[in-house]
Each structure stands twice: as structure tokens, then as C-alpha cells.
Structure 1
Amino acid sequence: MSKNYVQIDPKDNVIVAITPLEKGTITSVSGKNITLKENIKQKHKFTLNHFNVGDKIYMYGVLIGKATQTIQEGCAITIENVKHASAEFKDSKEPFTWSAPDISNFKTRTFKGYHRKDGKVGTANYWLVIPLTFCENRNLDVLEGALSEKLGYETKKDFAVNTDALIHKYKSGATTDEIFNTPIITTKEELSKNRVFPNVDGIKFLKHDGGCGGTRQDSQVLCKLLAGYITNPNVAGATVFSLGCQNAQINMLQKAIEAIDPNCKKPIHFLEQQRSESERKLIEEAVKHTFIGLTKANKIERKPAPLSKLVLGLECGGSDGFSGISANPALGYASDLLVALGGSPVLSEFPELNGVEQGLINRCVTDQDSKKFYNLMRAYSAAAVAVGSGFENNPSPGNIKDGLITDAMKSAGAAKKGGTSPIVQVLDYTEQVTKPGLNLLCTPGNDVESTTALVGSGCNIIVFTTGLGTPTGNPVAPVLKMSSNTQLYKRMNDIIDINAGTVISGEDSIESMGEKILDHIIKVASNEVASKAVLHGNNDFIPWKRGVSL
């Protein structure tokens, strides 16, 4: 893709500028010469034809907008001259076939993971501390202060301050100079070397603002999400705080866990503050239960596992005009590879599937799932309209600035993350991945709400594509960030793991980049390489309350 402009699909009547193009530049597309009538920004699109008001605009081979003004051939499309439009879809399928990619480079590969009694395999080994209501968030803070640094786990900074050393010096009668010259900074790397439980990757504290107030459904859904986290293969066990009077009751969470795993063997300790003698006693019990739980979790060691045990979350955020032609299709090829190997990729963000619904419906293996996807999309769209919004309002200012001017354009590029394989299951929010193959999961487009949901439905690793950059991570599953362009990778290398900008420069094909992505996934899943989000302690967790969130 080393040219300075590209037509993505033969049906497209707008062309992507790979580099900034000056007015007067002569381009040649499908045998037609076009002289640009204005400057075209990098990542933006110019017209292949003359458009009258109402004319349809196609990109990625699908309808992405309609002209609101007359647009001359060789001019830029913008939010001023184009409005969102998307293709209609029905709940019945059209014929679909799939050719699996060559997996010879991965047939014998494994990853080193934590094998659970339910047959799942984790890419990490965490202990969770969870509040059933926001009233208990302070107790999580107390527990974190009592345990994390003392046990050698990460702080919220790149280092820890050992004030105890200064206190010891002072009490032993040290001089001012001796106190001043005492080393007190400990890096994360040094902390990790001194972990009390080397086989436990950390203690994660899932603070949230739910569990009481709102609707009863909000609390029920929250308990299902938390149950998904507790039963996630990356989790060894949990300590659960309850106030006692909130909507999200302990028995509600227990039923949600049982629905996912009727024979759950993980240690889970429930503590109810209104039944405790005092807050001090509550914290004492929590610390002791958690410590004992960690001793058990530490007995589990990494062992080889087939790649079929990978449940890969597919996410994008801070997208740009290159996301749909480099990072997303490359991740889609990695997704197809994983499907062919028996694994389970999961495509989410339903507002960002607007305009490509029919293609996804055609790929559903069963009529039941095609109808379920149809109904979920219709209901989501109607809910957005009911509050005065709509999918067309999904693109952010950053998306628009970098060339994604309609939701259908953004969606057509975002859907490329899901590759081309059949869809084996359509899941509503908090429903669990149970089938190998590509799954669809209903989530918002909001980055953290979506990544939170992916892990709650069973993903043990996530790849997150971005064109603008984001530090997003997750408390339980490693999140790998992949840039759509090399400039971003160089500028934000501290938070980006993989560079797909080599597809734009022509150094990589979609296929070769897809293989590099899967190779990196295997290394992170085996803890041979740490994701940048894990290194920086990005533990973003936002439950969706099922209101309208685009």
C-alpha cells in the first residue's frame, strides 16, 4: 500500500489519501484520471465522481453516506457536504462461504497458561477484590493499601516509596545526613522480584459506582458482569464486600456464578459489613481471607496449552482514517487464524457495526443467531433515537478530524477486526463465550465499557487497535494496543505494543501483519512479553448500565 492514495473496494466512489495531496495532483483510479480541485488531508477522502445532492457514497464496498451538497469530482468529502447513511438489513441470511487461512506456521504452537478446573486456561493469575455496592469502595482502598505494595505488586506509579526505611533510621538515632542518604525508592521491577507469591500476577480491585440505586435490572446485570470476572480463566479467586442492604445482594451474585459454572471450585469469600462487629474486624477478616486465598493461587503454575484456549477480545478506539485499512483488517486476519486453530475471537461495539449488519447476518451459522443480532441492533438503535440521539452521532471529534466523518464509514472499518469467518454465536451483554469460533457480543462503542464487557464474557486477552492513541487497559486481561500508523507508534511507543503502520508503508501485507499479531498474542499470553497496559497499571473498569451509550 505504498501509493499515496488507494481505492479500498472496486465499488467505492471515494478514495483514501495515504499522504497529503495537493490541489492539481493528477490521480489515476480504475483507469480514470482525476485532477484534484483542492488540497486533500492525509487519511481523508476525495471523490471519484461528481455528486449531486442525495447521491450515495460508498467505501469498503458499502453505503457510508449521502451527499448534502453538490460535490465536484476530485474534491474532499466532509461533514459539511456529506451526511451519514447506511444500508438496510433484514433478519434472513444470504448465501455465505469461507476459506480458512493457512495455519501451518501455528499448528504446533502453544502458550503457557494457568489451567483451571473447568477446562479454561488463563493468560494471567489474579485475585479479585470486588464491592457489591459503591458504598464499599473505601474498604477496597484500605485493603489495597494493606496488601499490594507489601506483597510486591504494582503501585499506581512506576515506583514505590519506602517510608518505613526513614522511620527505622529515625528511631535508631540516625543523623539528618544519614536519613537523607537512605535509599527509599523501589521500582516496579524490583517490587516484582520480591513478590511473596510469584505465581500470582496481582490483586485487582474492581471499584465501581453501581450496586444500589438505579434500577433493579442494573444490579442484576452488574452481578452477572462480576460473576463473569470471577469465573474468567485469568482469575484464581475473589474477596467480595457487601454492605448488606443494597440491591446487588450476595445471593444474586452467587446465582450468577452458578449459572456460568455450576461446579465453581474457585475460593470466593463473602464479607457483609452490616453483620460485622466493626469495620476494623471486617478489614481484618478480608486481609486474612485474601492472604490465605493467595497462598492457594500461588500453587498454580503456567503449563503449555493449545491456542484453541485463547478467547481474544477485538477492540478499537481513538480510530483514524487508516484504522480500517491497516490495523483492523490485520487483526481480522489474526482473528481468522485463531478461528482456524479452534480459538474464539469476540467482536463487540454494536453501534460501530451500523451499515454492515447484513454482511454479519449472512455470516451467522444459525438462523437463531442471525435473528438475535437483527433484534439487538434494532433495539439498540431505537433506544438511541428515543433519547434524541442515534448511531450517526457515534464518531468522536477525534475520529472526524482524522477522516472518519460518518458512523457507517467508521463501522465499515471497525468491523474488519472480525475477519471473514462464520459467526458461531451472538451474545447479549454479560452472556458467556461457550463456542469456538467468531462470537459477536453486544456492547457500547465506549472503549472501557466494551473492554470491561469482553472480559466479563470470558476473554482472556484483548487486542485494541487505535489510530490516535489510548492508554486503556483492563484489570484482568492483558490489553495489547496496536497503532494504525507508524507516526503514532513512534510518538506513543510507551503505550503502544504493535505497529500496523507497516501495512500503510508497504513493508507488510495484511496477512504478514496478521501473523505477527498472533505471534505477539502468544508471547503475551505466555508472559514472555508484558503488554504496555499491564506495565503501566491501566486497570480500567466501567460496567454498562444498559442505558444509551454509543
Structure 2
Amino acid sequence: MKNRLIKISPKDNLLVALEDIAPGEKVFFEGKELDVINGVQVKHKVAEHDFNQGDIVVMYGLPVGKTLKSIQKGDVITTENIIHHTGGFSQSTGEYQWTAPDVKAFEGRTFNGYKRKDGKVGTTNNWLVIPLVFCQNRNIRILQEMLEDQLGYKRSQSKKIDIQNITNAIKGGASVEDVLQLDVVSVNNESNRSPYFPNVDGLRFLTHDGGCGGTREDAIVLSKLLAGYIANANVAGATILGLGCQNAEVKYINGFLEEFGVLGKKPVYVLEQQQSVSERDFIAQAVKMTFAGLMEANKLERTPQPLSELVIGLECGGSDGFSGISSNPLLGYISDMIVALGGSAILSEFPELNGVEQNIVDRCVNTEYADKFSSLIRTYAQRAKEAGSGFEANPSPGNIKDGLITDAMKSAGAALKGGTSPILDVLDYTEVLTKKGLSLLCTPGNDVESTTGLASTGANIILFSTGLGTPTGNPTVPVVKVSSNTTLSNRMSDIIDFNAGEIVTGEKSIRDRAFDLMEYIIQIASGKELVKAEKLRQYDFIPWKRGVSL
């Protein structure tokens, strides 16, 4: 008999609907009949037994809410009958034990990566053109318009909109109704690789709204973030444009590059507009320096590298009621595999660890890291309250619509993408990864602010779990979009890279799908496949100013 409801943990008292169930329809769960009183939509939850007001509701074996009123067995769980609730956390409860997954099938395997002078390995070879301050954004865009098309980086393998087809129809007397019926989507199959610099995968242009004004702390944090991008193993070097009087000073960039161990090991060209005789001369110098950098970057070629050189960033966004059943546990299994192979994984998004803090504390290898995590997340939560909000406000309307009713419910599923391995380090925003194994990174839940932070910290691949769909990408790091359900994968196939929906239906196990995903990661890391965000030129970059961002 086909399962229509699922219980994630034996400790749970909520059941997840695997498909729509009509009001009054009787279904069987674990051999017993259950009357689904008001019906339930796929991905939403129903009560396994009767609840009184004030009772604790449990999913993933953790408290995820408290009842606002009595709830009957089989009734649907909504924002009207439960509220956010967590169990709290304290010091470690004891020594953590971990059983690593069997990775014999991948031992000795390699990917073709770029070995840098500092010893790190990139999965792509990019040159950056970045501003120290927002008033250089216009010059960045001038350089982008000038260089991308002529060097061959503007073209991409993606769907295009044929505007000329519309204008020709209008000239021919087409009505509004005729225009609305036109097929204007065409496919451009051109490569985005430059014929002049075949070993340089990307020429990336970043813009931002910082670098001056605001607080001096903001400027220093931005400088560290940008230095982290230059230090990332996926980056060959950078052209940096400044005005000359901004708070984000070149000395900060150089100081952080020295701290990160890459000063003098990568070409970095810095230009300040106030030292130039004209804007035209300034742009000309930037063009020549960028060409010089591309020539240096083009000398590096891909060579076989062990899987232990992979640094996997773990992210989720646009989550749904299946994310915690399929795509997030899948990412968690991959994280454990990477760690078992001697590689690195980075778990981000601190607002989405709310309610699972005790598990995180218990997994830290020493009290120093446990205390650092506790301090960071408590400070974050306090700042959110001071701003009139809180972690409980984290679920978006889309999350709630698709079954994630409370932040604790969302977090309990989101944290699964960090797997089960011990936590070997805890990093604050803009700190750079130095240890193998699993590390935590303090970022907001905002997708792009978080992926921006993951790239700066050192990820060379980002795995991004989504249940509702998102086009999010990154300028320097391939972002692999993993869907929680097959419906999304089919509907948004132009942005989804990998489907975990077969785990929900029972067609494949998490382990089997993890092996499939690992093979795909090796292809991406070797430059043999492009992620959809790259094909769509989705290069998102938003620095976090350390304000309240959920």
C-alpha cells in the first residue's frame, strides 16, 4: 500500500502528508486508520494524536512548536493552532560519537582542479574586477560592457527572448492578443569560454553599495570580505578600482590578503581614480591591467586533484515541507562523505539553527568552539529582538504556504544539511576556513548574503537545497541547486541542477542519490559541466552589514 503520510523520527507527534488528502478522507498509517478531519495539502502536517492547549509538538525528534489551542487527532497543523517553540540549549551533554559513511567507492578518485601557489585548489579559474567603493560601480559596468562581449564571456548557453519577433509582429499589424500568443523564446547554444583565454573560466564584475559612509566597521568588514574573494581558490587575481578617499582602504585589503596567506601569490592590480588624469585614462589603465591579469591566469591548467581538496558550502533557500525529508538530508550525507574523504564542509545560516543549538554544541570538538557558537547565536538572537523581530519571524510566506509553520520546524529540517560529523571549527562572518572537516559559518538566512559569505570564507562548490525554487548563483563559486521534489525539478528545469524528489517517493535512498550527486559534483569541479546559474549568468553578490537579516 502506498504511503500517504510519513513520520520522520520515532519521537515525532506530527505526520507529513506526501500528497493531498481530501477532508474526511480516511488513510492508513502504520497499519491504523487515521481520519484526516479537514484534509491536508501535500507537505503540510497533521496531528498524530489529540493535543491540549500548551502541548509541545515535535518533528525531527525536536520541539518545533507549542499548541495555541486543543487539536484533534488527524487535524491539520497551521499558524492558527501552533506557535514557534524550542527546547533551549546549554553546555555540551557529553563526548560526541560519529560513524562516518562508507566512502570506499570514492577513495582515490580525483577531479581536475586548479592548484594555486598557496596550496589551495580551485574548481574554476576566475578573474575579478571589483570596486572598493560604490562610486566606482559605474566604471565597473563600463569595463564589463567593454570587455565581456569582445572577449567572449558574455555569451552563455541559455534561453533568450527574441524581441525582434515581437517588433516585427507589431509592424505587421499584430493585436495585443496576437503579441501575447507569440513564441519569443529561442535557445543560444554558444559557449561562454573566451577564445583568447581558454584557461580562464570567468571574468567577473562585482558591484556593491558600501566602502564609504556608514561605519568604519562596515568598511573594514567589506574589505575583509573582498579580500576573502580574492583569496578564494577559484580566483586567479583581481583588478581593484577605488576613488582614493574611501573608508575601505587598500591597506585593509593587503593586510587581509597577508593574513589569508595569498599576498604576493596572486596578481592584484589596484587603481585609484583620484590619481588619474582623466576618466578615459583611468578606464584604459584598468583595461590593460585586466588583460595582464588574464594573461597570467591563463597560464594555469587543470590537473588531477584528490577529493579532499573540495570545500563544500551548504545552503538552503525557498524551502518547503519536503526539504527536511529529501534535499537537506541528501546534502548532509554529502557533507559527511566529504569529511570522511578528508575534505571540508561549511554549514551557514545561523537563524536556521534555532532549536537545534544543543545538537550543534554537543558536536563541537571542544568547549572553545561550543562557547563561540553559543555566543554568536545568542548575540544574533538578541539583536533581532532589539530590532523588534526575532528568529521566530524567519519563515517566509512561501515557507509557511508549503508547510514550514514555525522557525523551529524550518530549522530542524535545514540543519540536516550539515550532516552528523563533528564540528571542527566555528567561524564568524568573513573569517576564512583553515581546517579540514565540518565548520560552522555565522551568516544570515538571506540566501545571497549567506552564499556571498560562503564564497569569501573559502567554499569552492556550494550545494543549495530548495523546495520552491530560486535562481541564486555566485560570481566565483558554482552553486548546485538541489530540488526537494520532482515537481519543482520538472517545472523549473532551467534553474535546478539535481533532483532529490526520488527520495520522497521512495524510488531511491538518500545514500544512492548521494552517490549520484557526488559524481555530478566531480563533473562540476572538473569543469566538464556548468551549473544552471552559470548558464543563466546569475552572479549574485550582497555583502552582509551585520545588521538584523533573517
Gaps of 5+ in 1: 162-185
**Alignment map for 1:375-524 (pairs within 5 Å):** 375-524=375-524
- Percent identity reads 57
Contact 1:333 1:514 in 2 (8 A): yes
Normalising by structure 1, we get a TM-score of: 0.93
CA contact (8 A) 2:155 2:190 kept: no
- Letter of the 2:274 partner, please give it: Q
In structure 2, list runs of 5 or more residues that go unmatched: 162-185
The amino acid that maps onto 1:292 is A
The residue matched to 2:305 in structure 1 has which SS?
A: strand
Aligned equivalents of 1:438, 1:244: Cα separation in 2: 40
Please name the residue that 2:343 is paired with.
Answer: 343
Query: Hey, what's the Cα distance between the residues in 2 that align with 1:66 and 1:351?
Result: 19
1:91, CA displacement in angstroms?
Answer: 3.3
Mapped partners of 2:529, 2:255: distance in 1: 37
Preserved contact between residue 467 and residue 483 of structure 1 (Cα < 8 Å): yes
Q: How does 1:63-82 map to 2 (within 5 A)?
A: 63-82=63-82
Are the aligned partners of 1:93 and 1:370 in contact in 2 as well (CA < 8 Å)?
no
Paired residue for 2:61? 61
Q: Map 1:127-526 onto structure 2 (within 5 A).
A: 127-155=127-155, 158=158, 189-190=189-190, 192=192, 195-261=195-261, 263-526=263-526
Q: Which moved more, 1:464-473 or 1:22-31?
A: 22-31
SS in 2 for 1:105: helix
* Structure 2 CA distance for partners of 1:242 and 1:194, relative to 1, 3 Å: closer
Query: How far has the Cα of 1:434 moved from its partner?
Result: 0.9
Cα distance in 2 between the residues matched to 1:310 and 1:468 = 27
Matched length: 526
Q: CA deviation at 1:95?
A: 3.0
Task: Report the CA distance between 1:97 and its aligned residue.
Answer: 0.5
**Residue of structure 2 equivalent to 1:175:** none
What is the SS of the residue equivalent to 2:424? strand
Native 8 Å contact 2:428 2:441 kept in 1: yes
Distance 2:539 2:193 in 1: 21
Q: Which amino acid aligns with 1:489?
A: S
The whole-number CA distance in structure 2 between the counterparts of 1:93 and 1:227 is 38
AA partner of residue 418 (structure 2): G
The Cα shift of 1:109 comes to: 1.0
Which moves more between the two structures, 148-157 or 109-118?
A: 148-157
| 3-state SS, counterpart of residue 464 of structure 2 | strand
* 1:17 alignment counterpart: 17
Structure 2: distance between partners of 1:486 and 1:273: 51
1:41 partnered with 2:41: yes
Tell me, what secondary structure is at the counterpart of 1:521? helix
Instruction: State the Cα deviation string for residues 139-179 of structure 1 (Å, max 9, x = none).
Output: 10111122111111125895999xxxxxxxxxxxxxxxxxx
- SS of the aligned residue for 1:221 comes to helix
Equivalent position of 2:176 in the other structure:
none
**TM-score scaled by length of structure 2:** 0.93
Alignment correspondent of 1:124: 124
Q: Residue 128 of structure 1: SS of its match in structure 2?
A: strand
Instruction: State the one-letter code of the partner of 1:457.
Output: T
Aligned-partner Cα distance in 1 for 2:24–2:456 = 52
In structure 2, the CA distance between the partners of 1:377 and 1:157, relative to structure 1 (3 Å rule), is same
Aligned residue for 2:79, secondary structure, equals coil
Distance 2:330 2:154 in 1: 32
**Deviation at 1:27?**
4.0
Q: What is the rounded CA distance, in whole Å, between the counterparts of 2:192 and 2:43 in structure 1? A: 42
What amino acid does structure 2 have at the position aligned with 1:71? I
Q: Structure 1's 334 and 315: CA in aligned 2 closer, same or farther, altered over 3 A?
A: same
Measured after TM superposition, the shift of residue 130 of structure 1 is 0.7
Per-residue deviation at 1:70? 1.2
Matched, 1:114 2:99: no
Task: Flag the 1:318–1:278 CA change in 2: closer, same or farther, 3 A.
Answer: same
Counterpart Cα distance in 2 of 1:410 and 1:159? 34
Contact 2:199 2:299 in 1 (8 A): yes
CA distance in 2, matches of 1:189, 1:343: 35
Q: Secondary structure at the match of 1:150?
A: helix
**Separation in 2, partners of 1:317, 1:284:** 41
> Aligned equivalents of 1:512 and 1:47: distance in 2?
31
Tell me the SS of whatever aligns to 1:439.
strand
Which AA in structure 1 matches 2:245?
Answer: C
When residues 225 and 8 of structure 1 are mapped into structure 2, their CA distance, relative to the original with a 3 A threshold, is: same
Tell me if structure 2 keeps the 8 A contact 1:338–1:344.
yes
**Aligned-partner SS, 1:149:** helix
- 1:187: Cα distance to partner? 8.2
Question: Do 1:350 and 1:377's aligned partners in 2 also have CA atoms closer than 8 Å?
Answer: yes
Alpha-carbon offset, residue 92 of structure 1: 3.1
